[in-house]
Structure 1
Amino acid sequence: MTQNNTQPTPNILCIGSVLWDIIGRSPVEMRRGSDMPGRITQLPGGVAMNIAMTLARFGLKPALLSAVGRDDEGVELIAACARLGLVTDYIYRSDDLPTDRYMAVEGANGLIAAIADAHSLEAAGDKILKPLRDGSLGSPTSPFTGPIALDGNLTLSLLDDIANDPAFDAADLRVAPASPGKAERLRPFLTCNRGTLYVNLEEAGLLCQADFTDSETAAKAMLDRGACRVLVTDGGSSATEASTRSLITLVPPRVTVARVTGAGDTFMAAHIAAESRGDTCEAALASALKAAATYVSGEPPL
């Protein structure tokens, strides 16, 4: 596999879900069984995609490693990625797997319900990692050396393989669950003491099998469980960055919430971008919180 010469060389890889987000939003509070007026939009999404889009806005050149079908939805999605400045040359294109989708309903009181259909990504398995092993982007003997953003939509067995794969030995690995329901898939990175993990308070609780009331306590517990480095967010209350060298807790800016889907991905991307600029740990955390707050207020994160 070779890269299209019209595309610049990527300086960061985003591995995971690239799909269509179908989001229904109502400006009023909703509950189970609510039937409210609102707007339904369809946009490129998925954890890896959301992170890549934000990284591109911050001036980085991300490449996507994912699975996208050759159906009409997939052709349209690849074109949309290219228009956003993302490198799509390394995406696994399947003839028999449909393009994945995510559907959510949001009200003024936040996310009401969501369903992620990432079955094609899961079925593709390690085929999406071929460019990191065949020399296109790296190999086990000459691994990729830049940052890699990895999302938890991959299967537990594949995430376990990645946590132990020499093709990732030289990478700056950043890992996030796709949702609380998939948080426990990140457990191999605790076991291997590898990578930087981005989780919210609920996800930290699932990984540690405990209930936490604040981000700092959760971050410390994750380090005790084997995490190398972790960033724990707690909505508008606080966020903590912790490693064996430091522990920093900040309070995010207060904003009126207009949307929530993609906020965690924006936080992660903005943090990676800030550290790539050489920001200090505290400055990078503050920059990520500001970008996420701007995003949930309904504005672009820049």
Structure 2
Amino acid sequence: MEKTPDILCIGAVLWDIIGRSASHMRLGSDVPGRITRLPGGVAMNIAMTLGRFGMAPAVLCATGRDAEGDALLSEAETFGIITDYAYRSEDLPTDRYMAVEGANGLIAAIADAHSLEAAGAKILRPLEDGRLGTLDRPWSGPIALDGNLTVDLLHTIAHSPLFRAADLRVAPASPGKAERLLALVGHPGVTLYVNLEEAGLLCQCEFSDSSAAAMGLMQRGVTHVLVTDGGRAAADGLSGDIITHCPPSVLVTRVTGAGDTFMAAHIVSERAGMDRATSLARAAKAAATYVSGDTPL
């Protein structure tokens, strides 16, 4: 029997293969470290954090009907994630993401999300076939949307009646894919989560800080935006008003997934009825706790 979620996470659910070293690295570095394989992808990272905060997230994603896909969804369920609505492809492999991190941050990463892109609108079927909604009675709850989706699919979401009642929370998968989110600018139900670099790419300029970036995005038509800037102050811009909060200083031991943790903690805080300042502070603290190597709760 399919379970009923209270939030949907749409996008990449894949295996994260992460190499981490305590050494500073540069191009061509060959250093000792650890290599791990963990459930990942923007949608998965957000869903895992939402689950830790007590929500019941479901993932709308694409995985292969292969051993890696079976293992990935089984692992997701241990985090309290509902996988009943995942699209399982007979001919597409389960996606993967590979990154190398040093003491000086992310060195390089490659996202192999080709199966998600190839599946396209098939991952949205539960929103129209009655399982999670229909055209007449669309899903009216929160949705965490991943920028790994294709530009065409993001355009479809921006204009589809299936999403007209949804609270859309959107994050780019990476700076390289940030410009895809322009398809959603102007949608009244969108809250955008970006870092300083991604904000600059969306506005085609450089910003000195998160406040300036939030203002720039609101001037482009984004109603609500959250901008992070590593260990510097994060900003929340809503209908022209901006508030900021500086995260606590921590020793950084990992970076992949920090933005997803920030987004999930902010969603949970707002859904719990907390005000903007409290929600921003709680999200910044959760992200700082995450990068320090601890689990944010």
TM-score by length of 2: 0.98
Residue 154, structure 1, aligned to residue 149, structure 2: yes
Corresponding residue number in structure 2 for 1:74: 69
Q: Are the counterparts in 2 of residues 163 and 194 from structure 1 also a CA contact under 8 Å?
A: no
How far apart are the structure 2 equivalents of 1:227 and 1:275?
18
Hey, what does 1:253 align to over in structure 2? 248
**1:245 positional shift:** 5.8
1:125 alignment counterpart? 120
- Separation in 2, partners of 1:165, 1:213: 36
Specify which of 258, 271, 275 is matched with residue 270 of structure 2: 275
Distance 1:245 1:284 in 2: 18
Q: Once superposed, which parts of structure 1, at least 4 consecutive aligned residues long, lie more than 2 Å away? A: 191-194
Distance 1:49 1:243 in 2: 27
Partner of 2:36: 41
Counterpart CA distance in 2 for 1:87 and 1:194 is: 24
Distance 1:85 1:286 in 2: 25
1-structure distance, mates of 2:216, 2:246: 20
Determine if the alignment matches structure 1 residue 202 to structure 2 residue 192.
no
Size of the aligned set, in residue pairs, is 297
The answer on whether the counterparts of 1:193 and 1:226 sit within 8 Å (CA) in structure 2 is: no
One-letter amino acid of the structure 2 residue matched with residue 278 of structure 1: G
Matched, 1:227 2:227: no
Gaps of 5+ in 2: none
**Helix, strand or coil for the counterpart of 1:32?**
coil
Instruction: Return the TM-score normalized by structure 1.
Output: 0.97
Residue 243 of structure 1 deviates from its aligned partner by 1.3
**Per-residue CA distance 1:197-253 (angstroms, 9 max, x = gap):** 000000000000010110000100100001111001111011100011631111111
- CA contact under 8 A between 2:60 and 2:85: conserved in structure 1? yes
1:232 is aligned with what amino acid?
Answer: V
Q: Structure 1: how far apart are the matches of 2:293 and 2:45? A: 15
Computed over aligned residues only, the root mean square deviation of the Cα atoms, in angstroms, reads 0.9
Q: Which residue of 1 aligns with 2:180?
A: 185
Instruction: Give unpaired runs (5+ residues) of structure 1.
Output: none
The one-letter code of the counterpart of 2:278 is A
**Are the aligned partners of 2:266 and 2:279 in contact in 1 as well (CA < 8 Å)?**
yes
Residue aligned with 1:85, SS: coil
Q: Distance in 1 between matches of 2:250 and 2:77?
A: 32
Residue by residue, what CA displacement relative to the aligned partner does 1:164-219 show, whole Å, maximum 9, x if unpaired? 11111111110000000000000012144540000000000000001011000010
- Does 1:29 find its partner at 2:24? yes
